[in-house]
Amino acid sequence: MVTITHIDTACMLIDINGFRILTDPTLDNAGHLYHHGAGVFSRKTDNPSLPPSGLQPVDLVLLSHHQHMDNFDHKGREFALSVPLILSTKPAAKAIRGITGLDDWESFSINTARVPGLKITATPAQHHPWWVPGFIAGKVIGFIIEFDSQEDGVIYISGDTVYFKGIEEVGKRFKIDTAIFHLGAVQVRYLTGAGEYTMNGKDLLKSIQRLNPNKVIPVHYRGWTHFKESEATLKQILAGDPPINRKVSFLPPGVPTTI
């Protein structure tokens, strides 16, 4: 059985037969102003739905990138470093001791009796508008979670990304059962105007059309002031395509949901 609990931003607790995976740990309370690098500042506006003490035990952290505080804040980092295994980017592994770095399409197998055949594969992500150099935002990856008992396809986590050809490549390589997309239409208007650093609702529709997953879970669309597409607008865009909208589930915060 697989359950997903939405904790905060892109932070989810994924429980697969008792093997517990935490993604992009953000566990600070709301109210603080953060510097994300390259002159980018924003404020956190939501609290996590569960405190760090309510998450234990965790067996694995999947960290799409380490350089931005909306995916890896102070308490999130402290918690992650107490977990036996953290998989992230190669730059994250160089920057933080204890992280195992993966290149795009590189896989890491985990030997656990709870989830036979568990394997994590890093997928490409583009966390910047096409006209902004990639080094400004830094390296980001998504993840494929696969294991022996999956019958309808794998779990895909996009990481922070806009729509780009790498999304199509994911669909060519994997049959997706559950797709988890990082949204929010992130903009830094005082630096790069209307350029977006994560998907908006239209990008989400295009991604669903290309990947054709059975189930879709949006995350990373509220809780920070740099998110520029509201939840209401996102839902309105999805409602305009009923067949796709029927695949989408907005998870209630802090509540384990079976997928």
Per-residue pLDDT of the chain (259 residues; tens, 9 = 90+): 999 999 999 999 999 999 999 999 999 999 999 999 888 899 999 999 999 999 999 999 999 999 999 999 999 999 999 999 999 999 999 999 999 999 999 999 999 999 999 999 999 999 988 888 888 889 999 999 999 999 999 999 999 999 999 999 999 999 999 999 999 999 888 877 888 999 999 999 999 999 999 999 999 999 999 999 999 999 999 999 999 999 999 999 999 999 9
Residues 6+ positions from 232 with CB-CB distance below 8 Å: none
Residue 177, domain member (yes or no): yes
Q: Domain count for the chain, please give it.
A: 1
pTM comes to 0.97
End-to-end CA distance of the chain: 8
Distance CA 28, CA 217 (A): 23
Tell me, what CATH number does 239's domain have?
A: 3.60.15.10
Residue 255, domain member (yes or no): no
Q: Residues 194, 241, 214, CA angle at the centre, nearest 5°? A: 100
Residue 257, domain member (yes or no): no
Distance CA 141, CA 87 (A): 10
Residue 253, domain member (yes or no): no
Instruction: Determine how β-strand 107-109 pairs with β-strand 119-124.
Output: antiparallel
Residue 252, domain member (yes or no): no
Residue 64, domain member (yes or no): yes
Residue 258, domain member (yes or no): no
Q: Residue 241 class from Cβ within 10 Å (0-12 exposed, 13-18 middle, 19+ buried)?
A: middle
Q: Report whether 219 contacts 155 (CB < 8 A).
A: no
Domain that holds residue 184: 2-244
- What pLDDT sits at residue 135? 82
Residue 128, domain member (yes or no): yes
